[in-house]
Amino acid sequence: MGHNETIAVEDDIHLSFGKKLPVSVERGEGVKVWDENGKEYLDFTSGWAVAGLGYSHKAIVDAIINQSRKIIHNPNSGLTYSPSRARLLSVLKKILPSNLTKVFFTNSGAEANDAAIKLARKITGRKKIISTLMSFHGRTIGTLSATGQTVQTERFNVHMPFFEFVPFNDCEAIRKVLDDDTAAVIIEPIQGEGGVRVPEPDYLEIVSGLCKQAGALLIVDEIQTGFFRTGPAFITAEKGVSADFMTMGKGIAGGFPFGAVAVAQSIASKIEDGDHGGTYNGNPLGCAVAASVVQYMIEKHICINVHSVSKSTKIILHGWKKKYPELIREIRGEGLLLAVEFTKKEYVSYIQSKTLENGLILNIKHGTIIRLIPALTVEWEEMFKGLKIIENCIFNLLCSRVNSEIGVLHVTGA
């Protein structure tokens, strides 16, 4: 099957919930992928902040081969002991916030959040879950109900009851709605899908204090921010926040579907047999891959690369903001979770299609935001090359016929 035939078959039969980029990706290596015609692309999406080590990394490939030769799925679906799970638990222990002493594995981020919400209700005997506007916690009916983006939720009549939403980065708003029926507050340390929104430095800490006062539990969703995406292993640990639950996914296994929920001892002690479970949870293959990925990130001090590439990237992005004030509204983010917000959707759709023609795959949020989330192993030369492709498109936007079609702009200091 060739490139065009693949596209034809998929367009015909695949039930897709989004508009696809017209690229049939056959293989990947590091930050690069190749389509079926052999065309090379740089990928600044890492599959939505998942492939932290890049594509086809040896640590992942070897773990899959070695573990699958031994065993892929546990007898009694996990209710036996498993060396690969034990290895993953030992590796995770090195980076988890110190108060989170027990871990349960899931197959995705949404499943981890679902488990946390469900267990928080059971443990507190309360119903209400407080979440934030523009948050994203998953697409199951439970996590969708906790998601604060109407564009994601409003079509699905009806949500789970007892979810309330407050503006992000607003402690007072949380204080007002916390009551003696609040089971938990669920929060992202930086809103990822919401458009990379970074709160005040003490936000998480204050929310944690408010939860404690109200007897409510705190669920920190590190599914997008975790595993060194923003620099530290987890923002929760970096800030010294004592969450009751911390949920993980995406980067944990570099592309193998996996997730986890870590809980404080006070929570673990209230969990009873049968409270939760799942056929594939903590399967040996996923555990082996995750252990290998996380071990590699720790050993190679991946945070150093994240910090240095991020620092140089931010200098360039802020330079764009100064040069193209009519086009660029804001630069946001930490580590390699960065966003360039443009003033108009037309600019971003133009940039996305032109960068694709020029061999760069980008992720767009809410029409106006380019989210830059490359592999954490991206080299500065690769990052620079991709940024140059974007800037050329921005410049062409100003100069080309497209510019005259969408209005007169001018550039300052260029």
Q: Interacting stretch for ligand PLP, rule CB under 6 A, among 5-13, 185-193, 229-237, 320-328?
A: 185-193
Minimum Å gap between C-beta 112 and ligand PLP is 8
Q: Is 371 in the site for ligand PLP (CB under 6 A)?
A: no
Q: Is 109 in the site for ligand PLP (CB under 6 A)?
A: yes
Residues 20-79 that bind ligand PLP (CB under 6 A): 48
In the complex with ligand PLP, which residue's Cβ is closer, 122 or 139?
139
In the complex with ligand PLP, which residue's Cβ is closer, 107 or 398?
107
Minimum Å gap between C-beta 34 and ligand PLP is 25
Q: How far apart are CA 305 and CA 294, in angstroms?
A: 15
Q: Is 192 in the site for ligand PLP (CB under 6 A)?
A: yes
Which of 43, 114, 188, 382 is close enough to bind ligand PLP by CB under 6 A? Answer: 188
Minimum Å gap between C-beta 193 and ligand PLP is 5
Minimum Å gap between C-beta 337 and ligand PLP is 10
Residue 50: partners with Cβ closer than 8 Å, 6 or more residues away: 250, 251, 254, 255
Q: How far apart are CA 389 and CA 246, in angstroms?
A: 37
Number of amino acids touching ligand PLP (CB under 6 A): 15
Give the distance from CA 34 to its chain's centroid: 23
Q: Is 184 in the site for ligand PLP (CB under 6 A)?
A: no
Please identify which residue in the block is written with the tokens 């994601």. 152
Number of residue whose CB is nearest ligand PLP? 109
Residues 392-411 that bind ligand PLP (CB under 6 A): none
Q: Interacting stretch for ligand PLP, rule CB under 6 A, among 3-11, 16-24, 107-115, 401-409?
A: 107-115
In the complex with ligand PLP, which residue's Cβ is closer, 48 or 380?
48
Residues 200-229 that bind ligand PLP (CB under 6 A): 221, 223-224
- Other C-beta atoms lying within 10 Å of the C-beta of residue 156: 11
Best CA proximity match to 277, nearest among 34, 154, 405, 106: 106
Q: Is 335 in the site for ligand PLP (CB under 6 A)?
A: no
Which of 47, 78, 138, 286 is close enough to bind ligand PLP by CB under 6 A? Answer: 138
Which of 45, 108, 295, 377 is close enough to bind ligand PLP by CB under 6 A? Answer: 108
In the complex with ligand PLP, which residue's Cβ is closer, 319 or 367?
367
Q: Is 373 in the site for ligand PLP (CB under 6 A)?
A: no
Burial of 6 (0-12, 13-18, 19+ CB in 10 A): middle
Which of 43, 193, 334, 382 is close enough to bind ligand PLP by CB under 6 A? Answer: 193
Cite the DSSP H helix spans in 231-283: 235-238, 265-268
Best CA proximity match to 219, nearest among 254, 190, 184, 264: 184
Around 367, how many Cα atoms within 13 Å sit in the side-chain half-sphere?
A: 5
In the complex with ligand PLP, which residue's Cβ is closer, 219 or 398?
219
Long-range contact list for 173-181, CB < 8 A, 24+ apart?
Answer: 174/130, 174/207, 174/210, 175/210, 177/130, 178/130, 178/210, 178/211, 178/213, 178/214, 178/216, 179/128, 179/214, 180/126, 180/214, 180/215, 181/126, 181/127, 181/128
Q: How far apart are CA 262 and CA 222, in angstroms?
A: 11
Q: How far apart are CA 195 and CA 169, in angstroms?
A: 14
What the block records as the tokens of 158 is 């009806």
Q: How far apart are CA 298 and CA 301, in angstroms?
A: 5
In the complex with ligand PLP, which residue's Cβ is closer, 108 or 236?
108
Minimum Å gap between C-beta 395 and ligand PLP is 32
Around 180, how many Cα atoms within 13 Å sit in the side-chain half-sphere?
A: 0
**60 and 254 Cβ atoms separated by less than 8 Å:** yes
Report the amino acid identity of residue 200. Answer: E
Q: Is 136 in the site for ligand PLP (CB under 6 A)?
A: yes
In the complex with ligand PLP, which residue's Cβ is closer, 136 or 228?
136
Q: Interacting stretch for ligand PLP, rule CB under 6 A, among 133-141, 166-174, 309-317, 395-403?
A: 133-141
Instruction: Provide the binding-site residues for ligand PLP, judged by CB under 6 A.
Output: 48, 108-110, 113, 136-138, 188, 192-193, 221, 223-224, 249
